[in-house]
Amino acid sequence: MNKVNEETITKIRHTIELLRVQHSNIHGSQEQQWIQEHLTDEKLKQEVINLSIVAFHILSALESGEQTGIEIAEKINVTRGGVTRAAKKLLQYDLILATKHSDDKKKIYYSLTDEGKKLAKVHDQMHETIKRELVDKLTAKYSMDDLKIVANFLDDLYQLEQKF
């Protein structure tokens, strides 16, 4: 590999590492910070920092109605264990409810509380804002062909990393 190619690959890896670090910031991810800034409820603001990104995605998934942990895991593409861990925290903060139906005592069904609905709504607003800004800024700078190449590259990179 020549020096220019090696430097480019190093820059790509460095940028990806920066993105990863940003999501594990001890002061909360940028998502958590954005959500805190856009909440009016002080109690919820304090709870946000203790919730994982998976927890926020569970809240958003439950906006469509009551679901089991297995259904949520499939919907947001995480493990059942990941859903269970996040759900425990959400239950602790009274953001979701866990119930069993009389016809099937094995399955636990999760649903949103009023506070959980508020947090889910702000989380959804954050994703819409990010999506809108990304589209506006990236399409202003890059052609659709450029963006397709980047999307394919990132998918290829993800597939390669799955092998390690």
- CATH number of the structural domain spanning residue 23: 1.10.10.10
C-alpha span between 162 and 44 (Å, rounded): 36
What is the overall mean pLDDT for the chain? 89
Q: Which of 48, 64, 58, 62 is nearest to 79 (CA)?
A: 58
For 16, residues 6+ apart whose C-beta sits below 8 A from its C-beta are 157
pLDDT at 66 over 80: yes
Count of domains observed in the chain: 1
What's the whole-number mean pLDDT along residues 129-135? 90
| Rounded CA separation 3/87 (Å) | 48
Whole-prediction pTM: 0.77
Structure tokens at 95: 């953001």
Residue 139 pLDDT:
92
pLDDT at 1: 61
H/E stretch holding 107:
strand 104-112
Confidence band, pLDDT 50/70/90 cuts, at residue 159: confident
C-alpha span between 136 and 100 (Å, rounded): 45
Contact at 8 Å (CB) between 52 and 25?
no
pLDDT in tens, 14-62: 788 777 766 655 556 788 889 999 999 999 999 998 999 899 999 999 9
Rg of the chain (C-alpha set) = 19
How crowded is the C-beta side of 119, counted as CA atoms within 13 Å? 32
Given a cut of 90, whether residue 8 has pLDDT beyond it is no
pLDDT at 120: 96
pLDDT at 71: 96
Which pLDDT score is estimated for 163? 82
* DSSP conformation class of 84: H
* Of the candidates 38, 36, 34, 83, the residue with the CA atom closest to the CA atom of residue 58: 83
Query: Range of 157's domain?
Result: 3-162
Q: What is the pLDDT of residues 83-128, one digit of tens each?
A: 999 999 999 999 999 999 888 888 999 999 999 999 999 999 999 9
